[in-house]
Amino acid sequence: MSAYDAVVVGSGPNGLSAAIELAREGLSVAVLEAADEPGGALRSAGLTLPGFVHDVGSAIHPLAAASPFFRSLPLQRHGLRWVHPPAPLAHPLDGQEAVLLERSVEDTAAALGRDGAAYRRLMAPLAADLGRLAELAVGRLRLPRHPAALATAALRACGPAASLARGAFAGGRARALFAGNAAHSFLPLERRPSALFGLALGALGHAVGWPFPEGGAGRLARALVSCLRALGGEVLTGFPVGSLEGLPPARVVLLDVTPRQLLRIAGDRLPGRYRRALASYRYGPGAFKVDYALDGPVPWADGRCGRAGTVHLGGTLEEIAAAEREVWRGGHPERPFVLLAQHTLFDPSRAPAGRHTVWAYCHVPNGSTFDMTGRIERQIERFAPGFRERVLARRSAGPAELERENPNLVGGDINGGVMDLGQLLTRPARRPNPYATPVRGLYLCSSSTPPGGGVHGLCGYLAARSALRRLRGPRRSGRRPPAATPR
């Protein structure tokens, strides 16, 4: 078996990003993927009827569009085309007009009435400086345009979303909009730092939109694979890895896996203290997902929801907070917070002419076996009467099915572990370098490392930079580091 400078296990967006960064530095790299297709949860497939393209995992990608690492790659030359709906997000409410997050901060604020000025003060500086803040992740320091406002926002971001929403806004519309964004955290809205997610996703919507790849999320994975191969890297599918001894010889190994798989693959090589830290790593609530094939668009009560690629279904701040609190306590809310994507309104290539797809999920306790299909559909029907009559086919997947398709989704957790204050920046264990394990040449590059879940590739990029520092140090001193795998 060939020897490589680096072997990456797992071809999710972080594994591919790590491999690309290493290959850009001239290293020979192989990515090993157990499945028959690369991409991890970043894939598309025909899950319902012939001709309908559904995203298997992630579907809307503001973090990818903003990622300074992805933006440094020639992904468009490798087939990626972003689709930008006119509005990033809609949030319908009972008996009144939906709240829309528009690309313009001013347009969004104008529709919030008495809370417009407060929304503008909160979001405009973040949206203006988002690109500069993102570049910090790749080591580029650019002074922000609004340092005082950003400092205030940073303090608020560390707090609970419910407190920020109630303190910043007087009316229910702005509070609901913020709550829906914050609920992407999978945290109770009374828990820190759920406010961070509300601020970040709102700012992303204004700064870069909430786009998605034309033709399916798998097109982004394909573009990353194509970019890697153009740099000389290899991707080997159908290659499950059960232990380090089963790997090709390599100077460094990077694992795009969560702590549970790291223990299985390398547990006998890891010191006891680190093993115990990994064993105590906390996974968060899971997802229950339903994919729909429809005979027409979703019949929203407020037709303006048809301008948005993403629709948040949960009602008021109080309703969303109650639903997320119940999930955290191990329950299944009767009215769950539902995240819905309607790609085919803006990308007709994903369905036969006149037909449409819907991608929807809600949060459930980790490992739940409860079927949430009916409750998800009742929430959609609540804001789109007649939805059920448009359903041609559906495919439901709970936490067990999601984990079976992708072992990194432990118990259905799509974030690689809880992202609360206790674990957001110390994942997977409290170490000066979270990417390097105690085994020389062995690194973790998954969403279980900072900055955490989402399709941005930064966990992989940062792990690769850490590995490069290890490789280059001994080279400068004339010593060669020991191989991470036997030669």
Task: Indicate if 360 and 226 belong to the same structural domain.
Answer: no
Residue 469 CA to its chain's centroid (Å): 27
Q: Which two tokens stand for residue 375?
A: 């409750």
- Name the average pLDDT for the chain: 94
Task: Indicate if 254 and 193 belong to the same structural domain.
Answer: no
CATH code of 193's domain: 3.90.660
Helix (H, G, I), strand (E, B) or coil at 342: coil
Helix (H) or strand (E) holding 163: helix 161-168
- The model's pLDDT over 221-279, given as tens digits with 9 standing for 90+, comes to 999 999 999 999 999 999 999 999 989 999 999 999 999 999 999 989 999 999 999 99
Nearest to 138 by CA among 56, 21, 261: 21
Task: Indicate if 185 and 315 belong to the same structural domain.
Answer: yes
Residue 73 domain-assigned (yes or no) = no
- The model's pLDDT over 345-370, given as tens digits with 9 standing for 90+, comes to 999 999 999 999 999 999 999 999 99
Between CA 263 and CA 246 the distance in angstroms is 15
Task: Indicate if 290 and 322 belong to the same structural domain.
Answer: yes
What pLDDT is stored for residue 136 in this prediction?
72
Torsion angle defined by CA atoms of residues 103, 106, 110 and 114, in that order, rounded to the nearest 10 degrees: 120
Alpha helices (H) in 231-343, listed in sequence order:
259-266, 272-279, 317-328
Task: Indicate if 376 and 355 belong to the same structural domain.
Answer: yes
pTM of the predicted model, to two decimals? 0.94
Q: What confidence category does residue 151 fall into, taking pLDDT thresholds of 50, 70 and 90? A: confident
Domain boundary among 380, 405, 430: 405
Burial of 213: CB neighbours in 10 Å, binned 0-12, 13-18, 19+: buried
Task: Indicate if 362 and 301 belong to the same structural domain.
Answer: yes
Task: Indicate if 457 and 381 belong to the same structural domain.
Answer: no
Task: Indicate if 167 and 232 belong to the same structural domain.
Answer: no
Residue 48 domain-assigned (yes or no) = yes
Q: Around Cβ 78, how many Cβ atoms within 10 Å?
A: 18
Residue 71 domain-assigned (yes or no) = no
Averaged pLDDT for residues 275-303: 98
Residue 99 domain-assigned (yes or no) = yes
What pLDDT is stored for residue 135 in this prediction?
80
Return the minimum-mean-pLDDT range out of 153-162, 219-228, 449-458: 153-162
Task: Indicate if 424 and 434 belong to the same structural domain.
Answer: yes
Helix (H, G, I), strand (E, B) or coil at 5: strand
Residue 410 domain-assigned (yes or no) = no
Task: Indicate if 188 and 289 belong to the same structural domain.
Answer: yes
Domain span at 139: 82-211+285-405
Task: Indicate if 325 and 465 belong to the same structural domain.
Answer: no
Helix (H, G, I), strand (E, B) or coil at 338: strand
The count of structural domains within the chain is 2
Residue 484 domain-assigned (yes or no) = no
Please say whether the beta carbons of 345 and 321 come within 8 A: no
Task: Indicate if 179 and 313 belong to the same structural domain.
Answer: yes
Between CA 25 and CA 36 the distance in angstroms is 28
Please say whether the beta carbons of 90 and 98 come within 8 A: yes
Domain boundary among 405, 424, 445: 405
CATH code of 24's domain: 3.50.50.60
